[in-house]
Structure 1
Amino acid sequence: MNNSQHEVTIDDNRTMAQLLEAPTVGYEDVIVMPEITTDNFDLKHRLLTLVQNKQFFGHDKEDPHAHIRYFNKITSMMKFPNVPSTSVKLMLFPFSLEGAAQIWLEKEPTRSILTWVDLVSKFINKFFPTSKTINL
């Protein structure tokens, strides 16, 4: 069979427009964001800027414990009525990562981080593994 004899068959009833749509499956976030039921919740740009001012890159010399302490300090400065602080932390934490650390988070299985404790545990285990503790 040569190239001019290839036949394309479509076994479903989708329109051409539907067939050309970008797939939406597989783009779920790693972090499962808790539902926020209050109408007056708005993350301020300055809080996001504060978080991004001291990003964690995942270099050997960086201390992930210090990053979590700094992140907790920054995110504890703002309180939102009827919104748990852990929800705010889950939303903002990805913005505190860059480089290898951001790549690590993106490669985690989708919907695998359900709580702030999950996130901190995975982050510390990745960037301060047991082998590093033993070497100290």
Structure 2
Amino acid sequence: MNEDPYQHLKEFHVVCSSMKPERVTEEQVKLRAFPFSLDGVAKEWLFYLPASSVTSWEGMMRLFLTIGSDSRSFVQVVHSMIPLNNLSFINFMKACCLP
């Protein structure tokens, strides 16, 4: 994964916009393909999100950019969250970052 979350999303958009399956929206393609665009700690972060916590591509981008826009690297940001004041990572995400 590119260290710059904005660049990662730009490149991901280019790939997804080239796919045009019938009766499938671009948003559905992006939501289903996004996990495959991540690796390492970014993929770990995604799989720690509670089930059904992200229901739109807009929501996924917002959450990803909230975490990724920190001045520290994505790895440092995610590792700084686990655990925080005895909260599990999932509880932290629910309390702090999810709409």
TM tier, shorter chain? 0.5 to 0.7
Q: Which residue of 2 aligns with 1:98?
A: 39
Secondary structure at 2:54's aligned position in 1?
coil
Equivalents in 1 of 2:60, 2:48: separation in Å? 13
Give identity over the alignment, percent: 35
Equivalents in 1 of 2:44, 2:13: separation in Å? 22
Q: Which residue of 2 aligns with 1:68?
A: 9
Return 5+ residue gaps in structure 1 as ranges. 1-55
1:119 equivalent among 47, 60, 84: 60
Equivalents in 2 of 1:111, 1:77: separation in Å? 27
Quick one: which amino acid aligns to residue 89 of structure 1?
A: K
Bigger share in helix: 2
Q: Which residue of 1 aligns with 2:92?
A: none
Secondary structure at 1:113's aligned position in 2?
coil
- From the CA coordinates, give the structure whose radius of gyration is larger: 1
* Cα RMSD, aligned residues only: 1.1
Equivalents in 1 of 2:49, 2:18: separation in Å? 29
Return 5+ residue gaps in structure 2 as ranges. 72-99
What are the within-5 Å matches in structure 2 for residues 79-94 of structure 1? 79-94=20-35
Q: How many residues end up aligned between the 2 structures?
A: 71
Secondary structure at 1:109's aligned position in 2?
coil
Equivalents in 1 of 2:12, 2:36: separation in Å? 11
**TM-score using structure 1 length:** 0.50
Quick one: which amino acid aligns to residue 87 of structure 1?
A: Q
Q: Tell me: higher relative CO, structure 1 or 2? Use CA pairs within 8 A at least 6 residues apart.
A: 1
What are the within-5 Å matches in structure 2 for residues 38-53 of structure 1? none
Quick one: which amino acid aligns to residue 98 of structure 1?
A: D
